Amino acid sequence: MAKLPIVTLPDPVLRQVSKPVERIDAALLKLADDMLETMYAAPGIGLAAIQVGVPRRLLVLDVADKDATPQPLTIINPEIVKLGSETRSYEEGCLSIPEVHVEIERPATLAFRYTGRDGKIHEVSADGLLATAVQHEMDHLDGKLIIDFLSRLRRDIVVRKFKKIARG
Ligand code: NI
User: What does the domain layout of the chain look like in residue ranges?
Assistant: 12-167
What gap in Å lies between CA 159 and CA 168, rounded to an integer?
A: 14
- Residue 14 Cα to ligand 1 middle (Å): 10
Q: What distance in Å separates the CA atoms of residue 18 and residue 14, rounded to the nearest whole number?
A: 10
Q: Give the residue numbers annotated as catalytic, written as ranges.
A: 137
> What was the pLDDT predicted at 66?
83
- pLDDT, averaged across the chain: 97
pLDDT digits 0-9 by tens, 17-52: 999 999 999 999 999 999 999 999 999 999 999 999
Tell how far CA 165 is from the center of its chain.
Answer: 23
Cα gap 109→135, rounded to integer Å: 10
Return the C-alpha torsion angle 133, 136, 137, 142, nearest 10. 160
What distance in angstroms lies between residue 47's CA and the mean position of ligand 1's atoms? 6
Q: Which fold, 12-167?
A: Peptide Deformylase (3.90.45)
In a structure prediction context, what are the per-residue pLDDT tens digits for the chain, which is 168 residues long? 799 999 999 999 999 999 999 999 999 999 999 999 999 999 999 999 999 999 999 999 999 998 899 999 999 999 999 999 999 999 999 999 999 999 999 999 999 999 999 999 999 999 999 999 999 999 999 999 999 999 999 999 999 999 999 998
* 143 vs 135: CA distance, rounded Å: 13
- Beta partners for residue 110, in sequence order: 83, 126
pLDDT at 114: 98
**What pLDDT, on the 0 to 100 scale, is given for residue 129?**
97
Measured in Å, residue 123 CA sits from the centre of ligand 1 at 23
- 7 vs 65: CA distance, rounded Å: 26
